Amino acid sequence: MNLAVNARDAMPNGGVLTIRTENAARDDAYANSQLQDEAENYAILIVSDNGHGMGKETQDRIFEPFFTTKEAGKGTGLGLATVYGIVKQHGGTITCESQPGEGTTFRVYLPVGEMESDRDTATPLAQPFLGTETILLVDDEDPVRDLGKKILAQSGYTVITAANGKEALEIYQEKRELVSLIILDWIMPEMGGKQFLEEIRDIDPKARVLVVSGLQSGGTAAITREHGARGFVGKPYNVREFLKSVREILDEDD
Ligand SMILES: Nc1ncnc2c1ncn2[C@@H]1O[C@H](COP(=O)(O)OP(=O)(O)O)[C@@H](O)[C@H]1O
Ligand SMILES: [Mg+2]
């Protein structure tokens, strides 16, 4: 962050900030001339700007604590001293190349560890639960409905929304062939979740409903199941758990 902030300051009228990474081996000539420690392989973080750059005298002092060329109140002179400390603590090196008017490139070399990766054994973090079905999302609160719609749409689903049970019933009667799942808030004006479940049972006993409710006390999960819901997710929900429940219910047999 400090490197990026300095790059911004060096380009007051705009410019290009480039952040990239590379691998380097110690036998790479440039790396070898810069490195003092023992590691064979390095990861390099390269931060470049095409700003005003700096001359040799400035460059010689940039890592000194409190060295700044910025006007009082703007610079503290601590950014690069902090970067230097962090890089050294990790057994790395930082280099700077710059010319007045030519921009600046910082390279942070970090030794690559020799530990074996545990990537294969760890559970994948973001196993996606995606789908292309159409879902009817029923919630009386606009922000909750918008968020749910966004999450589902990003996972591939087509989303139809309704603000209460009554509206949802009307939509369902019209678009029943399209809708594979109904996601239902429990407490809503006009018609709440419980009454909706009772009504939908007469219209289509096979309709799949996932109840999403902030009301988790008093065995709401059990009550919703007694009323024919296929699942229950408490609000506020964990996105992954939510998408998992959606996918599971869609994949259930009738
Ligand atoms: N990307 C850059 N381009 C030009 N000069 C830079 C750049 N990064 C750092 N400098 C110079 O190094 C000095 C010290 O930077 P830093 O330690 O972050 O303190 P500060 O940003 O508070 O001045 C800056 O005042 C500036 O002269
Ligand atoms: Mg700074």
Reported as a single tens digit per residue, the pLDDT across 162-191 is 999 999 999 999 999 999 999 999 989 989
For residue 53, which atom of ligand 1 is closest to its CA? Answer: 4
State which of 6, 47, 104 you would mutate to test the pocket of ligand 1, scoring each by most atoms of that ligand within 8 A of its C-beta. Answer: 6
Residue 233 lies in a domain: yes
Q: Are residues 91 and 143 in the same domain?
A: no
Domain boundary among 111, 142, 176: 111
Provide the number of structural domains found in the chain: 2
Q: Are residues 163 and 223 in the same domain?
A: yes
Domain boundary among 111, 145, 170: 111
For residue 51, which atom of ligand 1 is closest to its CA? Answer: 3
State which of 52, 62, 82, 87 you would mutate to test the pocket of ligand 1, scoring each by most atoms of that ligand within 8 A of its C-beta. Answer: 62
Nearest Cα to Cα of residue 212 among 133, 122, 151: 151
Q: Are residues 203 and 143 in the same domain?
A: yes
For the CA of 7, the nearest ligand: 1
Long-range (24+ apart) CB contacts under 8 A made by 60-64 are 62/96, 63/94
Q: Are residues 106 and 177 in the same domain?
A: no
Q: Are residues 53 and 147 in the same domain?
A: no
Q: Are residues 203 and 235 in the same domain?
A: yes
- Three-state DSSP class for residue 129: coil
Give me the half-sphere count of Cα atoms (radius 13 Å) on the Cβ side of residue 162. 28
Element spanning 29, H or E: helix 29-34
Report how far ligand 1's centroid is from the alpha carbon of 112 (Å): 28
Q: Are residues 144 and 232 in the same domain?
A: yes
Residue 123 lies in a domain: no
Query: Distance (Å, rounded) from C-alpha 23 to C-alpha 21?
Result: 7
Q: Give, as residue ranges, everything with CB less than 5 Å from ion ligand 2.
A: 6, 79
CA-proximal residue: ligand 1, atom 22 (nearest):
75
Element spanning 108, H or E: strand 103-111
Report how far ligand 2's centroid is from the alpha carbon of 36 (Å): 25
Q: Are residues 106 and 140 in the same domain?
A: no
Within its chain, how far is the Cα of 73 from the centroid? 34
Using omega within 30 degrees of 0 as the cis cutoff, is the peptide bond preceding 143 cis? Answer: no
pTM of the model: 0.53
Q: What is the CATH number of the domain that holds 36?
A: 3.30.565.10
**Residues enclosing ligand 1, CB less than 6 A?**
2, 6-7, 10, 49, 51, 53-54, 58, 62, 67-70, 75-81, 104
102: containing domain: 2-111
Query: Distance (Å, rounded) from C-alpha 13 to C-alpha 6?
Result: 14
Report how far ligand 1's centroid is from the alpha carbon of 233 (Å): 51
For the CA of 63, the nearest ligand: 1
Query: Distance (Å, rounded) from C-alpha 95 to C-alpha 92?
Result: 10
Per-residue pLDDT of the chain (254 residues; tens, 9 = 90+): 999 999 999 999 999 999 999 998 877 766 666 676 677 888 999 999 999 999 999 999 999 999 999 998 888 999 999 999 999 988 888 999 999 999 999 999 998 887 776 665 555 555 679 999 999 999 999 999 999 999 999 999 999 999 999 999 999 999 999 999 999 999 899 899 999 999 999 999 999 999 998 876 667 788 888 889 999 998 888 898 999 999 999 999 87
Q: Are residues 79 and 141 in the same domain?
A: no
Residue 12 lies in a domain: yes
Residue with tokens 């689903």: 157
Q: Are residues 233 and 200 in the same domain?
A: yes
- Three-state DSSP class for residue 50: coil
Query: Distance (Å, rounded) from C-alpha 180 to C-alpha 135?
Result: 6
Q: What is the CATH number of the domain that holds 168?
A: 3.40.50.2300
Residue with tokens 């009504």: 199
Other CB atoms within a 10 A radius of the CB of residue 44 amount to 20
Q: What is the per-residue pLDDT across 240-254, written as a single tens digit (0 to 9) for each? A: 899 999 999 999 987
